[in-house]
Amino acid sequence: MFKLRNQELIILIVTVVIFAGFSVFLDKFFSTGNLLTLMRSVSILGILSIAMAVVVISKGIDLSLIATLAVGTALASVLSSADVLPSIDLPFIYAVILGFIFTAILCAMTGILVAYWDMASVFVTLAMAGVIYGLGRTLFIRDELNYLPEDAAWLEYLGRGQLFGVPMPIICFLMLAIIMHLLLTKTTFGKFVYSIGDSGLAARTAGVPVRPILVMIFILAGTVAYFAGLLTAGAISSINTRMVAGSMIYDVLLVVVVGGIGLSGGKGGMHNVILGTLLIGTLLNGMVIMDISFIVQNLIKGIILLLAIMTDTLLNPRDEQTTQQGDI
């Protein structure tokens, strides 16, 4: 069980106030259609934030998550297309597995560069985002928009179906949050993640296999992002690789930082992700309904992110030890 800290209680109160305000003053906000749309969009944002949270808890960052989401899913779609591989006629489920293997290999490369080459994760993942997108578009993916095949009905159900009136993406998000919570709090791997975030040097001295764990963290984050991509494709029966150039990665960072996961590492959990997802998801949905321009939305998100980072710095000050990067 967890207990809400003052910062997290404030986030919950702000979320409730914003949601109530939008419900009263925006005619279309509290409609059934918009609430369903809100829940679906929030679930994808939340799943991506789970992936980012695991990396941030280990005192890293992964800016390649959107590229992993888009390219991995588009690759699965392309491999199952009769236009691309007519002689093979690859079932979609096998294409999904191949997409996962592609994703896992590239994420492992990211982890190796961070863990064994002592490279800062922010720069490695920024570069890997371009590498993943470039490799995918050059070698496999000809078009930006890629449609799911006919045998992807199971994925379309996960993306836009309902169970007892609850959208399946929300169920997937909550189930994944529970699984990740148990992984981080009840397993040795989770304890290692927090210990690396607290101090990579101290963790290594205590016998924690820091480098292999870091590689596993990036593979895990990439796998979760790939799953978010599959749900995204299932919701609209297609995936557009152009989303790599969008601002979604900043929304994910907003959720993680505003939710209360300290950038100094070793702090936070899935309840922070859920709180941050509810707040940022509601705010983004309200701005869309108010028809606020994309530029102004980015300005607002940038200001909120900057204030959140400043607040995190005050609440979780970095000393000489916490500025060190993992196993170096």
Q: What is the CATH number of the domain that holds 100?
A: 1.10.3470
State the Cα–Cα distance between residues 315 and 308, nearest whole angstrom: 10
Q: Which residues are within 8 A (CB) of 51 and not within 5 positions of it... i.e. 6 or more apart?
A: 62, 65, 220, 221, 222, 224, 225, 228
Q: What is the pLDDT of residue 320?
A: 47
Please indicate, yes or no, if residue 322 is contained in any of the structural domains: no
Q: What is the SS3 assignment for 240?
A: strand
Q: What is the pLDDT of residue 81?
A: 78
Please indicate, yes or no, if residue 327 is contained in any of the structural domains: no
Please indicate, yes or no, if residue 84 is contained in any of the structural domains: yes
- Residue 194's alpha-carbon distances to 80, 212, 326, in angstroms, are 39, 15, 11
- Residue 47's alpha-carbon distances to 182, 222, 233, 248, in angstroms, are 16, 11, 14, 12
- Predicted confidence (pLDDT) per residue in 46-99, tens digit: 999 999 999 999 999 999 999 999 999 999 999 887 666 555 668 999 999 999
H or E element, residue 145: strand 145-147
Please indicate, yes or no, if residue 39 is contained in any of the structural domains: yes
Q: What is the pLDDT of residue 10?
A: 85
Q: What share of the chain is helix, strand, coil (3-state, %, to 5)?
A: 75, 5, 25
Please indicate, yes or no, if residue 232 is contained in any of the structural domains: yes
Query: Band of the pLDDT at 38, cuts 50, 70, 90?
Result: confident
Q: What is the pLDDT of residue 1?
A: 47
- Answer whether residue 325 shows pLDDT above 50: no
* pTM of the predicted protein model: 0.91
Please indicate, yes or no, if residue 247 is contained in any of the structural domains: yes
Q: Which residue range forms the structural domain that includes residue 271? A: 6-315
Please indicate, yes or no, if residue 328 is contained in any of the structural domains: no
Question: By the 8 A CB rule, do 120 and 49 touch?
Answer: no
- Answer whether residue 5 shows pLDDT above 80: no
Measured between its terminal Cα atoms, the distance across the chain in Å is 34
Provide the number of structural domains found in the chain: 1
Please indicate, yes or no, if residue 240 is contained in any of the structural domains: yes
- Predicted confidence (pLDDT) per residue in 247-290, tens digit: 899 999 999 999 989 888 998 999 999 999 999 999 999 998 99
